[in-house]
A and B are shown apart, each in its own frame.
Chain A
Amino acid sequence: MPDKVKTKMIRVHIMGKEHLVPEGLTIMKAMEYAGYRFIRGAGCRAGFCGACGTVYRLKGDYKLYFELACQSAAIDGMSLTQLPFVPANKATYTVRLIKETGNPILKFYPEVARCVSCNTCTKACPQQLEVMDYIQAALKNDIEKAAKLSFDCIQCGLCAIRCPAEIAQYHVGQLARRVYGKFVKKSNQLNKRLNETNKGKFNSELDELMKMDKAAIKQKYTERDLESLAKKK
């Protein structure tokens, strides 16, 4: 009889309750193993959607750590909770109507001026972005820097819940990137494609799709050949 492979079990504290889970699981899988079922707070499970923000502490360590539950491994002795959503004020604006004069960031998010440069946002970012630096860039109207430094933001909101100045950094970064695309560096490719679309280059393909029934569209989608598309390019 072959020896049974013994999986090492570790202790994790999920919202204050202790669970034994196999070592090597992600935090998300560990929670599911412990019996939690994700209805909210899980999306792509691949580190892109930003829905599974996790806050934890380790045994004997005062520091707070921030990760995506789907991207980091459960650690023995960790004590964690999920922060699937962060309430944050999102300004409404029409990008088309934003003017280049003045500071568009301060116009829609004046609270950016409350930043105290404490760097807590940067410490909270699971993407390791320099959040404080992009907020500071936004304050001095350096749209390019704010857009570039915030480019990899996945909008998990962990920065916003930690900020003593109550700034919603991830929305600020998004506005900076929109303004950047509008004024600082216009995308040539986008303009080219818009031109083509307006001239009707894709009309026949679109018409064809519109005529198909649901089953045919489904089949076309499943059978789509990404490889050959990539090669065509």
Chain B
Amino acid sequence: MKIPYYPGCTLKAQGLGFETSAIASAKAVDIEMMELQRWNCCGTVFSLASDDLMHYIAPIRNFIRVQEAGYDKVVTLCSMCYNTMKRANLLVKNDSEKLKTLNDFMYREEDYKGNVEIVHLLELLRDEIGFETISKKVIRKFNELKVAPYYGCMLTRPKEVGIDDWEEPQIMENLITALGAEVVDDPMRGECCGAYHTVNSKDLVAERTRMIVTSAKNRGADIIVLSCPLCEFNLGTRQKDTIEIYSDFSGIPVLYFTQLMALALGMGKEVCRFDLHYVDPRPLLIEKGIIEEGEEKNAR
């Protein structure tokens, strides 16, 4: 299947490996993700004020881009983009007056008709492809690699936009199992990482990172996988600041679920961009016999 793809800002910067691994592994299971030619930042957070239309412009403008391209569905990877765009879409679908005001404001664009759906790649894998089909395409053995899924906030909350149950989600667990890795049952998988407080309260984020990463680690996890570049930054890159504050803390690698998928489907360094992660997962993957030393250079 062919589907337009909305990347979001960070997938073109620090989260580049999320995008490249997603596009490659989606292709391996017959999903062709085509990046929208023109798109803007979605705003990353949904405005929660009833009288604030200004902050709905950015997500709705992106839906106009999908409509212009002649599609009624768009896929995204970043949990925050997914959440913001889905909520904005729901809002205008249920409130024609607000949609009209927004359309009038964006008079240079064609009117958004409210007919575009936004889906997360995880939903496509579960509902369109099926985890069974994916498991049949697995080439690489994970040798009992223990993986803790981390949902954070935006994939499952609030209820009306969640891709799975908001307290007991299973979608990432099922994907990890299908890919042949071992799932670690971690009660902290839906706890907030501290989100945007990373800008002005690094210590608040360090407290969260310590709690979430240590919980996964204590339950035997070798790595954490997730779907949000802000969670990746807070749970991964901020491990540096966490160690500075809590000297007893020691971390584990944090990867995107698509990197695990790319590995399982036989791809390597070119699409995974492990070099962009603060905690380099390669030593662990080599130790586990998942990749060979130097292998990631030519594997594809």
Chains A and B bind each other: yes
Which residues of A approach B to under 8 Å, CB–CB? 103, 115-119, 123, 132-133, 136, 139-142, 164
Q: How many whole Å from B249's CB to the nearest CB in chain A?
A: 25
* 9 chain-A/chain-B pairs, Cβ below 8 angstroms: A116-B57, A117-B43, A117-B57, A133-B38, A136-B40, A136-B41, A139-B9, A140-B13, A164-B54
Contact with A along B25-69 (1 / 0, CB 8 A): 000000000000011110100000000001101100100000000
Instruction: Known contacts A123-B108, A164-B54; decide if A117 and B12 are in contact (CB<8 Å).
Output: no
Whether the Cβ atoms of B41 and A115 lie closer than 8 Å is: yes
Q: Which of B9, B43, B54, B55: most chain A CB closer than 10 A?
A: B9
Distance in angstroms between the alpha carbons of A84 and B38 in the assembled complex:
33
Instruction: Known contacts A132-B40, A136-B41; decide if A116 and B9 are in contact (CB<8 Å).
Output: no
Instruction: Known contacts A116-B55, A117-B57, A118-B54; decide if A140 and B38 are in contact (CB<8 Å).
Output: no
Q: Name the residue of chain A whose CB is nearest to the CB of B16.
A: A141
Whether the Cβ atoms of B41 and A117 lie closer than 8 Å is: yes
Contact residues in A for B299 (Cβ distance below 8 Å):
none
Does B106 count as interface, using CB distance less than 8 angstroms? yes
Whether the Cβ atoms of B12 and A140 lie closer than 8 Å is: yes
Contact residues in A for B108 (Cβ distance below 8 Å):
119, 123
Contact residues in B for A119 (Cβ distance below 8 Å):
57, 61, 106, 108
Instruction: Known contacts A133-B38, A136-B41, A140-B41; decide if A117 and B13 are in contact (CB<8 Å).
Output: no
Distance in angstroms between the alpha carbons of A142 and B13 in the assembled complex:
9
Q: Name the residue of chain A whose CB is nearest to the CB of B62.
A: A117
Instruction: Known contacts A133-B38, A136-B40, A141-B12; decide if A116 and B106 are in contact (CB<8 Å).
Output: no
Give the number of chain B interface residues (Cβ < 8 Å). Answer: 16
Contact residues in B for A140 (Cβ distance below 8 Å):
9, 12-13, 41
Whether the Cβ atoms of A117 and B61 lie closer than 8 Å is: yes
Contact residues in B for A116 (Cβ distance below 8 Å):
43, 54-55, 57-58
Q: How many whole Å from B4's CB to the nearest CB in chain A?
A: 17
Contact residues in B for A103 (Cβ distance below 8 Å):
13
Contact residues in A for B13 (Cβ distance below 8 Å):
103, 140-141
Contact residues in A for B43 (Cβ distance below 8 Å):
116-117
Distance in angstroms between the alpha carbons of A103 and B16 in the assembled complex:
13
A-B contacts besides A117-B58, A136-B41, 15 pairs, CB < 8 Å: A103-B13, A116-B43, A117-B40, A117-B41, A117-B57, A118-B105, A119-B57, A119-B61, A133-B38, A136-B39, A139-B9, A139-B41, A140-B13, A142-B12, A164-B54
Contact residues in B for A132 (Cβ distance below 8 Å):
40
Q: Name the residue of chain A whose CB is nearest to the CB of B59.
A: A117
Which residues of B approach A to under 8 Å, CB–CB? 9, 12-13, 38-41, 43, 54-55, 57-58, 61, 105-106, 108
Distance in angstroms between the alpha carbons of A140 and B11 in the assembled complex:
8
Contact residues in A for B54 (Cβ distance below 8 Å):
116, 118, 164
Q: How many whole Å from B192's CB to the nearest CB in chain A?
A: 21
Q: Name the residue of chain A whose CB is nearest to the CB of B109.
A: A119
Q: How many whole Å from A147's CB to the nearest CB in chain B?
A: 16
Distance in angstroms between the alpha carbons of A142 and B40 in the assembled complex:
12
Q: Which of A132, A133, A141: most chain B CB closer than 10 A?
A: A141
Q: How many whole Å from A142's CB to the nearest CB in chain B?
A: 7
Distance in angstroms between the alpha carbons of A123 and B12 in the assembled complex:
27
5 tightest A-B CB contacts, nearest first = A117-B58, A140-B12, A117-B40, A140-B9, A136-B40
Distance in angstroms between the alpha carbons of A221 and B243 in the assembled complex:
67
Contact residues in A for B38 (Cβ distance below 8 Å):
133
Distance in angstroms between the alpha carbons of A103 and B13 in the assembled complex:
8
Q: How many whole Å from B18's CB to the nearest CB in chain A?
A: 13
Distance in angstroms between the alpha carbons of A123 and B148 in the assembled complex:
48
Distance in angstroms between the alpha carbons of A116 and B40 in the assembled complex:
9
Distance in angstroms between the alpha carbons of A115 and B9 in the assembled complex:
12
Q: How many whole Å from B127's CB to the nearest CB in chain A?
A: 29
Distance in angstroms between the alpha carbons of A142 and B105 in the assembled complex:
27
Contact residues in B for A118 (Cβ distance below 8 Å):
54, 57, 105
Contact residues in A for B105 (Cβ distance below 8 Å):
118
Q: Name the residue of chain B whose CB is nearest to the CB of A115.
A: B41
Distance in angstroms between the alpha carbons of A123 and B107 in the assembled complex:
11
Q: Name the residue of chain B whose CB is nearest to the CB of A132.
A: B40
Q: Name the residue of chain B whose CB is nearest to the CB of A122.
A: B108
Distance in angstroms between the alpha carbons of A139 and B12 in the assembled complex:
10
Q: Name the residue of chain B whose CB is nearest to the CB of A135.
A: B40
Contact residues in B for A133 (Cβ distance below 8 Å):
38, 40
Q: How many whole Å from B219's CB to the nearest CB in chain A?
A: 34
Distance in angstroms between the alpha carbons of A139 and B58 in the assembled complex:
14
Q: Name the residue of chain B whose CB is nearest to the CB of A112.
A: B41
